[in-house]
Structure 1
Amino acid sequence: MKIAVVGIGAVGGVIASKIDREYAPVMISKNKEIVKSIRENGLRVKKEKATHCNVNCCPRIYSSFKEADLKFDIILLCTKATNVIDAAKEALNYLSEIGFIVSFQNGIVENHLLEFVPEEKLVGGIIGFGATMHQPGFVEMTSHGEIVIGELNGCIKERIKVLKSILDSVIETRITQNIWGAKYSKLLINACITTMGAVSGLTLGEMLSKKEFREVFRKILYEGVEVAKKKGIKLEKISGVSIHKLAASEREINGKFCLSKFHKDLIIKFIGRKYKNLKSSSLQSLERGRKTEVDFINGIIVRYGKETGFETPVNERIVEIVHEIENGKRKISPENLRELIF
């Protein structure tokens, strides 16, 4: 079985390293520094109690599918959502007869991919573990969590079982028959943690230690959950976390005190303490002068809200703030979150 991993950043690097011994994947990266580093030093992975180790042979990384000149049975797309369209268009030409693509992006990109990728050639995926790239070609898995995969039509085919057995080499992998609901549920988590961290510059611990910011967290979730109800999206637990146990209800949004609101606040505070050093991936993108994935995350909530006639003012404003930062019209600051308290 021939496997390609596209996008050798933090997530792609971890996956490629974990499945290397048994499946020897080909790596594809448009980043010249990453290609150069891996060709010279191998793909380096930081392990718990060690500095790093080389786990890949150098020749198996290429700057394009054309350079690799191979057909693949499985292509794992691990690029940023902002780059996934171009990556998928190129990948489609290098699938074997039975081959398929797996989309692992934050947010929801599958609706865009289905405009040119046949449904039978696409599988949805969610990454629940944390990862970081210390240097080009030097990655680390920073937190544990499951991988979730599923056919877009909800069927369980033999190929999804094969994919699970491969990805189990990375971390525990779960098959869902509700991949759209699972993707949207993960999107809601990212809409809070990733985007709030991006506009504020704070770690998750710093952010969720403040009551006013936990309120913003709940409001973002509230809008997302209400939109899901109107769209008929069935939410799923993500790495054991139920979105409904975090999101504010309409009664809580209206300012009325109740035990459920107090309980949700404690859970969110606990999440902040447990992952206190977590730094937003979108914040890292902004610091490098790159565009974020906000249009595929909070932007999806806004779009679904317009489609269903439900207003999403907090998500609309945070999307605007991110774009202002991207365009150099605003600085990253905790004050940006205070604008969302209304």
Structure 2
Amino acid sequence: MKIGVLGAGALGSVIGGTLAQAGEDVWLVTRSQAHVAAVRAAGLRLIGSEGESAVSRIHAATDSNEVGPCDLVIVLVKSFDTEQALRKSAGLFGPETVVMSLQNGLGHEDALAEVVGRRNVIAGKTYVGGVMLEPGVVIAGVQGKETLIGELDGSLSLRVQAIADVFNRAGLVTVAAPDIMSIIWDKLLVNVATGALAAITRLPYGPLYDIAEIHTVAVHAVAEAIAVAEARGISLSITEPEEAWRKAAEGLPPNFKTSMLQSLEKGSVTEIDFINGAVVAEGRRLGIATPYNETLVACIKGIEASLH
């Protein structure tokens, strides 16, 4: 299967590299010229809980026209860049290309459908993690981390099952799942638990999980998100805030940094509007108070403002 990973930063490189190790034809597409140059020169190095591996049979490009149409395009660009990134990457898409978002937060599938058509879009969420140590070198959090994918209409299709089979053969534990919107909300709870708090404190998971006060705030923020989801009629598999807090760190090393923290360290804006901000927006619409999430959003917005 020819697979393009659009927005191949840390997480995209982990997923793409793992698929390439299993023999898939993988193209990492990223704006980082340094990352592309490093991968082309020496391959991709993945550092995981079971040691380090080198992926030599993998392609990397900054220009989607160099890649050509793919069977599957995995979208991992920052949420606020989704529509613009797809329009700039038209070379990746043929009439039968399946486009799958594995981005954090809510609302990406509608943005994808605007560009490639709803019939070409499937949704997914992954608990796989990644941290870019330097161009071409990534910490990979794959062990015990599940990926779930599904059709937007909640059906179980052959194409979704075929993609799940490809992922599973590569060692990426993947389930073809009905009712993908419930799964998207489950993943949102995990992001709510640690994303903003890690970014505000600038802490990787080791010290983050050692501080009782952080744990308390995280649990309250997740409880608010659960209340909002239940008011929307979403059927969650994560029903206790503590479960989201625990799940966020499963299988990841103490030096793991959330994507929101990585964004701030690079001087970039974050995806806060699509994570905690989505909880706040839905809470306002439904008349549910979300003071913990409102505070986390305010703190992140303040930090973003200080960077520019």
TM-score by length of 1: 0.80
Q: In the alignment, what sits opposite 2:281? A: 303
TM-fit CA distance, 1:102: 0.7
Counterparts of 1:165 and 1:143, CA distance in 2? 16
Distance in 2, matches of 1:47 and 1:193, equals 21
In 2, the alpha carbon distance for the partners of 1:270 and 1:19 equals 24
CA distance in 2, matches of 1:148, 1:174: 5
* In 1, Cα distance between equivalents of 2:164 and 2:8: 20
Q: 2:241 aligns with which of 214, 237, 246?
A: 246
| Structure 2: 5+ residue stretches without partners | none
TM-score, normalised via structure 2 length: 0.88
In structure 2, the CA distance between the partners of 1:61 and 1:213, relative to structure 1 (3 Å rule), is closer
Q: 1:294 aligns with which of 234, 251, 272?
A: 272
Give the superposition deviation at 1:90.
Answer: 3.5
RMSD: 2.6
The 3 A distance-change label for structure 1 pair 269 and 295 is closer
Corresponding residue number in structure 1 for 2:219: 218
CA deviations over 1:187-243 (Å, ceiling 9, x no partner): 11111211111111233343343433322112101211111111111113xxxxxx3
Q: Identify the residue that residue 114 of structure 1 maps to in structure 2.
A: 113
Structure 1 residue 91: Cα displacement: 4.2
Name the aligned partner's letter for residue 122 of structure 1.
V
* C-alpha distance after superposition, 1:29-84 (max 9, x if no partner): 11111111112222222355655424225xx322121233x222211112232332
* Counterparts of 1:83 and 1:320, CA distance in 2: 21
Q: 1:85 aligns with which of 83, 100, 113?
A: 83
Percent identity reads 27
**CA shift in 2, pair 1:19/1:304, >3 Å:** same
1:64-79 mapped onto 2 (5 Å cutoff):
64-68=63-67, 70-79=68-77
Greater Cα shift, 125-134 or 319-328? 125-134
The one-letter code sitting in structure 2 at the alignment partner of 1:302 is V
**Counterparts in 2 of 1:124-163, with a 5 A limit?**
124-144=123-143, 145-163=145-163
User: Hey, what does 2:11 align to over in structure 1?
Assistant: 11
Alignment length (residue pairs):
303
Counterparts of 1:113 and 1:41 in 2: how far apart (Å)?
33
Which residue does the alignment assign to 1:24? Answer: 25
Structure 1 stretch 270-279 or stretch 12-21: which is displaced more? 270-279
Match of 1:99 among 97, 100, 103: 97
Alignment of 1:198-237 (within 5 A): 198-236=199-237
Q: 1:307 to 1:9 in 2, by over 3 A?
A: same
> 1:258 maps to which residue?
none
Q: 1:274: how far off? A: 8.0
For 2:304, which of 291, 304, 326 is the aligned residue?
A: 326
After TM superposition, give the deviation of residue 104 of structure 1 in Å: 0.8
Pair 230,110 (structure 1): closer, same or farther in 2 beyond 3 Å: same
Amino acid at match of 1:219: H
Post-superposition shift, 1:284?
A: 2.1
For residues 246 and 4 of structure 1, do their structure 2 counterparts lie closer, same or farther at Cα, with a shift above 3 Å needed? same
Task: Give the match's secondary structure for 1:153.
Answer: coil
Aligned 8 A contact 1:92 1:117 in 2? no
| C-alpha deviation, 1:270, in angstroms | 10
Change in Cα spacing, 1:320 to 1:115, as seen in structure 2 (3 Å) is: farther
Letter in 2 for 1:322: I
Residues in 2 aligned to 1:320 and 1:202: alpha-carbon distance in whole angstroms: 18
Aligned letter for 1:281?
S
Preserved contact between residue 149 and residue 179 of structure 1 (Cα < 8 Å): yes
Cα distance in 1, alignment partners of residues 296 and 305 from structure 2: 14
Aligned equivalents of 1:272, 1:43: Cα separation in 2: 24
Does the 8 Å CA contact 1:205/1:272 hold for their aligned counterparts?
Answer: no
1:285 correspondence with 2:284: no
Query: What is residue 261 of structure 1 aligned with on the other side?
Result: none
Within 1, Cα distance between the matches of 2:100 and 2:247? Answer: 33
Moved more, 139-148 or 313-322: 139-148
Q: Secondary structure at the match of 2:228?
A: helix
Aligned to 1:141, the other structure's residue is in SS state: strand
